[in-house]
Amino acid sequence: MSVVKINVLTVPAEMRQELERRFSSRAGMVESADGFEWFELLRPVEGTDRYMVYTRWRSEDDFRRWTESRAFQRGHGEGGGAGHGHGQEQGQEAGQGHGHGEGAGHGHGQSPAATAAELWSFEVVQSTGPGGQES
């Protein structure tokens, strides 16, 4: 049974663009993870003003392994699993900076665009695509 993990981010209006830019520059961070099934960054339009980082995984264990992986920790700041949102302040540690740092226009020592994050977990009970195709 797949699991859905949604990271819910509170982002001040003036930081939205910056948040989206940071996500685009981190494309590729999750795609090759074992058991990864889907990712969407959802921009709020109505009903909430929080962004949702939707991810779907083959299993809870696959998600856990990803959050413990270097790929995740590199993208979210070292040494804290899901506890940290981003690693830009930790850039001094040798070999652990972002591959895309300056090229992607990141500043250094910037604070997170998100002011809060909350992780929601779900089990996929039913799922369907166009034509009844299971996904």
Using CB under 6 A, list all residues that contact ligand HEM.
5, 7, 9, 19, 22-23, 26, 29-30, 39, 53, 55, 75-76, 82, 85-86, 112-114, 116-117, 119
Cβ proximity to ligand HEM, 91 vs 132, nearer residue: 91
* Closest-approach residue to ligand HEM (CB): 85
DSSP per position, the chain: --EEEEEEEE--GGGHHHHHHHHHTTTTSSTTSTTEEEEEEE---SS--EEEEEEEES-HHHHHHHHHSHHHHHHH-SSSGGG-S--GGGTTSTT-S-TTTTTTT--SSPPPS-SEEEEEEEE------GGG---
**Amino acid identity, position 45:** V
User: Which CB, 121 or 131, lies closer to ligand HEM?
Assistant: 121
**Nearest-approach distance from CB 3 to ligand HEM, in angstroms:** 10
88 vs 131 by CB, closer to ligand HEM: 88
Least distance (Å) between residue 105 CB and ligand HEM? 13
Written as six digits, the tokens of 97 are 């900076």
Nearer to ligand HEM, 121 or 127 (CB): 121
Closest CA relative to residue 9, chosen from 49, 38, 47, 36: 49
